[in-house]
Amino acid sequence: MVNAVWLFLLVTGIMTAAISGRIDIVTTSAMEAAKIGVETAIGLVGVMSLWLGLMRLAEAAGMVRALARVVQPFTRWLFPSVPKEHPALGAIILNISANILGLGNAATPFGLKAMEELQKLNAGKDEASEAMCTFLALNTSAITLIPATIIGVRVKAGSANPSEIIGTTIFATSCAMLVAITADFLFRRAGGTRR
């Protein structure tokens, strides 16, 4: 599916630019995006190093395993393919917690650590494992209790009650999470559609 979507974005984008007589935009956008890609990745180096260093410390102290043990009742049915007390589970929980608290900077390194641990358990190395799909379904639909950025925008726009949307946001994101977990369960049981 990712191949089809990637091609779709490219083809429709270039066609639209061509038809509207703004073909130059394709060149500038492509070059600029390539640069942004590198800058984004390099921009991650600092926080990645910091959090991966701390993660290694937490692991060496046995804290990641301890955390994995605490959350085992949840992770056992969400990630049946991951051995209990595996460090991947600790990293997954740290990632989801950071997301819930709106700590984006810490969430990404924890998430990438979780992916690294899950990859160690993965048989097909260039193919996503079931546990990875479950983790990303959780991650992309996870609840942020306080959507700080958008509240900031609302304050700036002069809202009478900027945080009024917290309740509706939590409702919508809970629905998304519920559907994602259910669908993931069904995909897993069906053996997954391979594409």
Partner 1 sequence: MKVIAEISRWAIPAFLLLVPVIAYLRKVKVYEVFVTGAEDGFWTAVKIIPYLVGMLVAIKIFVDSGAIEILAAGLKPLFNLLGLRHDLVQIIPLAIMRPLSGSGALGVATQVITEHGPDSFLGKLASTMQGSTDTTFFVLTVYFGSVGVKKYRYALKLGLLADLTGLIASIYIVSKIFG
- The window from 67-75, 78-86, 175-183 that contacts partner 1 (CB under 8 A) reads 175-183
Q: Determine the interface stretch with partner 1 among 67-75, 76-84, 85-93, 171-179 (rule: CB under 8 A).
A: 171-179
- Alpha carbon distance 41, 36 (integer Å): 8
Q: Which stretch binds partner 1 (CB under 8 A): 71-79, 81-89, 117-125?
A: 117-125
Directed axis angle between helix 87-100 and helix 130-141, to 10°? 20
Stretch that binds partner 1, among 68-76, 77-85, 187-195 (CB under 8 A): 187-195
**Between 73 and 157, whose beta carbon lies closer to partner 1?**
157
| Residues between 27 and 86 with contacts to partner 1, criterion CB under 8 A | 29-30, 32-34, 36-38, 40-42, 44-63
Q: Contact between 157 and partner 1 (CB under 8 A)?
A: yes
CB of 72 to partner 1, least distance (A): 20
Closest CA to 71 of 61, 60, 82: 82
- What is the Cα–Cα distance from 134 to 157, expressed in whole angstroms? 38
Residue 84 or 175: which CB sits closer to partner 1?
175
Q: Does 121 bind partner 1 (CB under 8 A)?
A: no
Among 71, 79, 96, 132, binds partner 1 (CB under 8 A): 132
Distance of alpha carbon 184 from alpha carbon 67, whole angstroms:
24
Interaction of residue 101 with partner 1, rule CB under 8 A: yes
CB atoms within 10 A of CB 60: 9
∠ CA(43), CA(48), CA(49), 5° rounding? 110
Longest pairwise C-alpha distance within the chain: 61
Contact positions with partner 1 (CB under 8 A) in 6-25: 6, 9-10, 12-17, 20, 22, 25
Cβ pair 95, 114 in contact under 8 A: yes
Select from 111, 106, 107 the least CA-distant residue to 88: 111
168 binds partner 1 (CB under 8 A): yes
According to the binding rule CB under 8 A, does residue 123 interact with partner 1? no
Q: How many residues does the chain have?
A: 195
**In the complex, what is the shortest distance from the CB of residue 95 to partner 1, in angstroms, rounded to a whole number?**
10
